[in-house]
Amino acid sequence: MSWEFSAPFDAGHRAALGTGKDLVFVAPPAGWCVAPLFAALTPSEHPRLTLVVLVPELTAGLDLAVAARAAAALQPVHVLTGRTRAERLLRDGAIRTLIATPPDALALLERASLKLAEVPRLALAWPAAMDAVGQTDILDTLLAEARGVQRLVITADETAIAGFIERHAHRAPIAVASRLPEAPSGALRYVCVGPRDRPSVARDLLDQLHPDSASVWDPSPDREPRWAGLLADPGVDLVGDEPLPRVQLAIAADLPSAEVVVRLRELADEIVVLLRSGQLPYLRRLAAPLRPMRVTGESDRARARSFRLRQKVRERLELGGLDAELLALEPLFAEHDPALVAAAAAAATGIPDRDTQPDIPAWVRVHVNVGRTDRLRPADLVGALVNAVGVAKDRIGKIEIRDRFTLVEIRAGDAERVVRGLTGVTIRGRRTAARLDRR
Q: Which among 256, 277, 255, 280 has a CA at the least distance from the CA of 266?
A: 256
CATH number of the domain enclosing 382: 3.30.70.330
Q: In the structure, what pLDDT confidence band is assigned to residue 360 with cuts at 50, 70 and 90?
A: very low
Q: What percent of the chain has pLDDT over 90?
A: 52
Note whether 25 and 150 are same-domain residues: yes
Average pLDDT, integer, range 38-51 = 84
CATH number of the domain enclosing 221: 3.40.50.300
Omega of the bond prior to 289 within 30 degrees of 0, cis?
yes
Residue 202 lies in a domain: yes
Encode pLDDT of 231-279 as tens digits: 888 889 999 767 778 999 999 999 999 999 999 999 999 999 999 988 9
pLDDT value of residue 304? 61
Average pLDDT of the chain to the nearest whole number:
87
pLDDT at residue 165 tops 80: yes
Residue 404 main-chain phi, psi, to 5 deg: -115, 0
Note whether 29 and 144 are same-domain residues: yes
- Cα 191 to its chain centre, rounded Å, is 14
Domain limit, last residue, from 122, 151, 176: 176
Residue 276 lies in a domain: yes
What is residue 88's three-state secondary structure? Answer: helix
Strand partners, 100: 54
pLDDT at residue 313 tops 90: no
Rounded CA-CA distance 108/114 in Å is: 5
Region of poorest pLDDT, from 17-31, 174-188, 322-336, 398-412: 322-336
Rounded CA-CA distance 69/241 in Å is: 24
Region of poorest pLDDT, from 44-48, 302-306, 356-360, 386-390: 356-360
- Side by side, the strands of the sheet bearing 290-292 are 236-238, 214-217, 247-252, 268-275, 188-192, 290-292
Q: In the structure, what pLDDT confidence band is assigned to residue 121 with cuts at 50, 70 and 90?
A: very high
Average pLDDT, integer, range 272-299 = 86
pLDDT value of residue 309? 76
Residue 181 lies in a domain: no
Residue 3 lies in a domain: no
Note whether 118 and 20 are same-domain residues: yes
Note whether 21 and 132 are same-domain residues: yes
Domain limit, last residue, from 126, 143, 176: 176
Residue 301 lies in a domain: no
Residue 2 lies in a domain: no
Note whether 286 and 313 are same-domain residues: no
Structural domains counted in the chain: 4
Note whether 20 and 72 are same-domain residues: yes
Note whether 77 and 138 are same-domain residues: yes
pLDDT at residue 352 tops 60: no
Residue 124 lies in a domain: yes
Residue 183 lies in a domain: no
Taking CA atoms, 319 is separated from 121, 312, 315, in Å, by: 43, 11, 7
Q: What is the DSSP string of 22-87?
A: -EEEE--SSHHHHHHHHHHPPPP--SS--EEEE-SSHHHHHHHHHHHTT-GGG-SEEE-S-HHHHH
Q: What angle do CA 254, 256, 260 make, to 5 degrees?
A: 135
Note whether 250 and 388 are same-domain residues: no
Note whether 422 and 376 are same-domain residues: yes
Q: Which among 393, 423, 408 has a CA at the least distance from the CA of 277?
A: 423
Domain limit, last residue, from 154, 176, 198: 176
- Cα 68 to its chain centre, rounded Å, is 15
Note whether 82 and 54 are same-domain residues: yes
pLDDT value of residue 46? 67
Q: In the structure, what pLDDT confidence band is assigned to residue 1 with cuts at 50, 70 and 90?
A: very low
Provide the residue range defining the domain that includes 368: 363-436
Note whether 340 and 429 are same-domain residues: no
pLDDT value of residue 143? 95
Q: Which residue has the higher pLDDT, 203 or 244?
A: 203
Note whether 119 and 41 are same-domain residues: yes
